[in-house]
Every structure is written in C-alpha cells, then in structure tokens.
C-alpha cells in the first residue's frame, strides 16, 4: 500500500512514517517549515518529502492519506482529498489498526516528561532483551530513531493528550488501548483546544476507561489532578509513585543527584546511577522502573539498565562547547517544564551562570495563558533572553518581575549577538523551545567561535 502522510515532519507523524515503512508500505509525505531532527531522520530513511500542501499531491498514486493533527480545514491538499472522496484516516487510528493491534502496549501519558520517560521505558525493555517496538516524540540516543517496529509482542508509546485530527477531536491516546500505563503528571496545557484543566482530566479518564482489568496504571501520587481522574473510575491494577512519599514506589536522590535509592512499600530495592539530573527525571525513572515490572523486568535489572540510558535529543542535549561556554538544546516550553529544566541544570552544574534563551512558541504560550507564570519559572536563571517574535502579548511587560536580568527581542540576530556578548567561560547557555528556533543553536556556536577566532 502507498501511504501519503500530511504533516509528516511532526514528531508523531514522522514516527508513524517510519513504522509504516518498516511494515512494508510505500511511504511519502508532505509538510511545511521542516526542521531537524525529524526532517533529517526521514531523509536518512529514504522517505520522500514534498514541501507544502498543494492539491496536486492527490495525484501521487497514494492508496491512503494519513492526516496529521496540525492539518486543519482550509488546507488545500486536505480540501482536495475531501472533494475527491479519497481514502483518509488519522495517524493514531492508522497506528491502532495496523501496528498496535494484538500487542502489549505500554503507554506514557502526562503534561511533562512523556518523551524522556517513554525513552527510558523502551530502553529498560531493550536492555532486558525484550526487543520492543516503540514510538517516541523525540529521538532517544540509545536507539537513534524516534520509532521502531520489531517482531516483539511489546510496544512502548508516548501517549499524547493533544487531539487526534481535524475529524476526531478526542485525545490521541484513546486509540492506543494500552495494557500498562504511566500517568506522570497532569497540568493545564494546550489552551488552544482545552477550555480548562477539567476538560483534560476528562480525556485522561477516557484513557483509563480503555485499560483492561488485568492492566496496570502507574500514577503520580503527588498530583491531585490524577487522583481526581482515578476517583471517577478505575477498573485496573493501580500503583502509586511519589519521590517524597513513604508508601508505594519511592526514590531519593544521593550524591547531588548522581545516584538514587529506590524503595517499594518501604523495602529498599537498590541504588542506581542517574543519567540525567533533576527531581523531574528522578520521578521519570521511578515511573519507568515501576512500569517495567509489570512486564516481568525485576527492579534490580531495571535499576542496572538506568545507568546506560543516554537521554533524548533536545532534552538537555549538549550542542557544543566553545572556550568553556556550553550550549544546550531543550524542548521545555511550559512554565513548569522550564522551571524544572533550569533546576536540573543547576543541580548538574552548580558552578557557572545559566543564560536562559527562551522562545515561547507553543499555541498555549502564544495565547498568553501562561505569561504570568513565566517570571517564576525563570527565577533560577542568571540571565534571560526571550525571543518575542509573533506573540500576541507583551513579553517585556510579562518579564518585568525579573528586573534587569531579562531582555526581550524580535530580531533573532540581535538576540544571538547579545547572548554571545554576555557569555563567559563556565557559562551554560540553555536554549528552550518546542520548535526549530531559527537554528539559534548553530548561530550561537558559530558566533562564539567567531568571537574567539
């Protein structure tokens, strides 16, 4: 079958493309404003890309069009597909019918940490010899690709609460029918499609309703929102985790976060070397170890595997070091994620300043719903450089509580110039965006090299 994917460079749809090709289908696709790592990954896999959404693509010979949720009514290609009565479906629906059916699905849901936790869980299964298939909203360094299809019965998936497609406004994760589920956390996000936190809790409840009686939910006990979701009904096994609790799954950091000790119901399970800093990554690891036990991986095996987990591209990824100045790339774009990311970097690198370079790019951030929370989320940074291009609110005014350490820009080149002018040896330039950010990472590294040439 020839499948043509609309919005193929999104992290999810790019993963669907890899799985479809591995399943033996001919795969092509289209998108606009493409950027790495997904565009690079697709090119490396030999999947042909078309720039833009012109209606003539209906003549590409595809048997089925798979439509990503970034594609909405008014898109010329989508309108042509509908006018001609051509076969189409959503990415999650195609995945459920052609890849996940009959497999033991392990799903990771939550506002934050999905990509890292999914990657960790896939690695725990891989290192234990389970050879899992997976689909992650990023590129795990241990695997080098965002999705993989194997002959294993196990499949690990990042379970996103964002809507499915133009024709299906349910959350993506209701299609996956998992047997093992991690509920990492739950905050208000995606203000472009959800009216409030209660609306998102309803979608999480829909996910809970799909889990079989023999399935297992591993949920964060520190989240009142998740307690409300599960109070609405739970028909599966339930285990709670909390890094600060005395019961259930618990973990405590040691040696400045380089190691941690894990407990279950008061009994010590062992220690593990932590590959990533921060309390949020400790919680991610705890959830992954708990979920792995449901498929038969002992905590001792899982803790040993954590030491060799290498992280995920665009999650505190070091892009380069120039004369003692380190440039990082991170996906953080929600105030909670921004705060946790900066705190994790501070834990990893207590010496040196943190220069936070932020692009408020998500739909929620562009709407200004979270602007009042931004100053507190950036408090631990020593300097803040905010790219305010395309915002519908005044970023400079919103960041006023940070005083002189915060600067806003609509000119990317000027931002780069000012960051480099402020940087000195032992500084950490932390770039945070859920998009390509105009290639700012390479621009910063090039400017730093030029300064020292």
pLDDT tens-place string over residues 248-306? 999 988 877 788 999 999 899 999 988 877 788 899 999 999 999 999 999 999 999 99
Strand partners, 385: 357, 407
Give the per-residue pLDDT at 362. Answer: 76
Give the per-residue pLDDT at 37. Answer: 64
Domain boundaries, the chain: 2-91, 102-306, 317-452
Residue 223: is its pLDDT beyond 80?
Answer: yes
Residue 452 pLDDT grade (very low, low, confident, very high; cuts 50, 70, 90): confident
Whether residue 313 has a cis bond before it, omega within 30° of 0? no
Percent of the chain whose predicted confidence (pLDDT) is above 90:
65
pLDDT tens-place string over residues 319-338? 899 988 999 998 877 888 88
pLDDT tens-place string over residues 57-78? 999 999 999 999 999 999 999 9
Cβ 111 vs Cβ 222: under 8 Å: no
Cβ 392 vs Cβ 367: under 8 Å: yes
Residue 373: is its pLDDT beyond 70?
Answer: yes
Give, in words, the CATH class of 102-306: alpha beta
Give the per-residue pLDDT at 122. Answer: 98
Average pLDDT over residues 89-112: 96
Percent of the chain whose predicted confidence (pLDDT) is above 70:
98
Residue 36 pLDDT grade (very low, low, confident, very high; cuts 50, 70, 90): low
pLDDT tens-place string over residues 334-353? 888 888 889 888 877 778 89
Give the per-residue pLDDT at 372. Answer: 85
Q: Is 2-91 a domain of CATH 3.40.50.720?
A: yes
Domain covering 317-452, topology: 3.90.190
More confident residue, 434 or 21: 21
Residue 132: is its pLDDT beyond 70?
Answer: yes
Give the per-residue pLDDT at 405. Answer: 92
Average pLDDT over residues 226-254: 91
Average confidence score pLDDT of the chain? 91
pTM of structure: 0.80
Residue 228: is its pLDDT beyond 70?
Answer: yes
Residue 34: is its pLDDT beyond 80?
Answer: no
pLDDT tens-place string over residues 2-25? 999 999 988 899 999 999 999 999
Q: What is the SS3 assignment for the chain?
A: CEEEEECCCCHHHHHHHHHHHHCCCEEEEEECCCCCCHHHHHHHCCCEEEECCCHHHHHCCCCEEEECCCCCCCCHHHHHHHHHCCCEEEHHHHHHHHHHCCCEEEEEECCCCHHHHHHHHHHHHHHCCCCCEEECCCCECCCCCCEECCCCCEEEEECCCCEEECCEEEEHHHHCCCCEEEECCCCCCCCCCCCCHHHHHHHHHHHHHCCCCCCEEEEECCCHHHHHHHHCCCCCEEEEECCCCCCCEEEEEEHHHCEEEEEECCEEEEEEECCCCCHHHHHHHHHHHHHHHHCCCCHHHHHHHHCCCCCECCCCEEEEEECCEEEEEECCCCHHHHHHHHHHHHHHCCCCCEEEEECCCCHHHHCCCCHHHHHHHCCCCCEEEEECCCCCCCHHHHCHHHHHHEEEECCHHHHHHHHHHHCCCCCEEEEECCCCHHHHHHHHHHHHHHHHC
Give the per-residue pLDDT at 326. Answer: 92
Residue 244 pLDDT grade (very low, low, confident, very high; cuts 50, 70, 90): confident
């Amino acid at each position: 079958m020839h499948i043509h994917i609309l919005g193929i460079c999104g992290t999810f749809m790019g993963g669907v493309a890899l799985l479809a090709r591995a399943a033996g289908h001919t795969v092509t696709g289209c998108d606009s404003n493409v950027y790495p790592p997904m565009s690079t990954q697709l090119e490396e896999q030999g999947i042909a890309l078309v720039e833009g959404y012109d209606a003539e693509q209906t003549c590409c010979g595809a048997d089925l069009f798979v439509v990503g949720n970034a594609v909405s009514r008014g898109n010329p290609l989508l309108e042509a597909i509908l006018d001609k009565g051509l076969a189409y479906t959503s990415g999650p629906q195609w995945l459920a019918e052609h890849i996940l059916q009959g497999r033991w699905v392990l799903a990771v849901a939550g506002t934050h940490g999905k990509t890292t936790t999914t990657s960790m869980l896939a690695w725990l299964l891989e290192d234990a010899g389970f050879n899992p298939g997976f689909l992650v909203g990023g590129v795990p360094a241990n695997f080098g690709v965002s999705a993989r299809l194997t002959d294993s019965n196990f499949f690990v998936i990042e379970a996103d609460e964002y809507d499915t497609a133009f024709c299906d406004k349910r959350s993506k994760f209701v299609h996956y029918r998992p047997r093992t589920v991690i509920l990492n956390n739950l905050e208000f996000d995606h203000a472009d499609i959800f009216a409030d936190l209660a609306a998102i809790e309803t979608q999480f409840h829909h996910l809970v309703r799909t889990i079989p009686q023999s399935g297992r939910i591993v949920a964060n006990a520190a989240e009142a929102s998740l307690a409300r979701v599960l109070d609405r009904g739970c028909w599966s096994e339930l285990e709670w985790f909390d890094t600060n609790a005395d019961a259930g799954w618990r973990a405590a950091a040691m040696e400045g976060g380089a190691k941690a000790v894990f407990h279950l119901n008061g009994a010590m399970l062992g220690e593990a070397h932590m590959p990533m800093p921060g309390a949020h990554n400790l919680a991610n690891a705890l959830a992954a170890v708990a979920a792995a036990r449901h498929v038969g991986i002992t905590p001792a095996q899982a803790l040993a595997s954590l030491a060799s987990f290498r992280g995920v591209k665009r999650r505190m990824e070091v892009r380069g070091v120039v004369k003692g100045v380190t440039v990082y790339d991170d996906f953080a774009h929600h105030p909670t994620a921004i705060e946790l990311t900066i705190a994790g970097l501070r834990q990893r690198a207590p010496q040196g300043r943190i220069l936070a370079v932020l692009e408020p790019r998500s739909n929620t951030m562009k709407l200004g719903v979270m602007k009042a929370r931004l100053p507190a989320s950036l408090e631990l940074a020593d300097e803040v450089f905010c790219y305010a291009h395309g915002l519908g609110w005044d970023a400079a005014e919103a960041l006023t509580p940070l005083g002189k350490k915060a600067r806003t820009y609509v000119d990317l080149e000027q931002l780069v110039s000012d960051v480099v002018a402020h940087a000195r040896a032992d500084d950490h330039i932390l770039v945070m965006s859920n998009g390509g950010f105009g290639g700012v990472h390479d621009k910063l590294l090039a400017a730093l090299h030029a300064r020292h040439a």
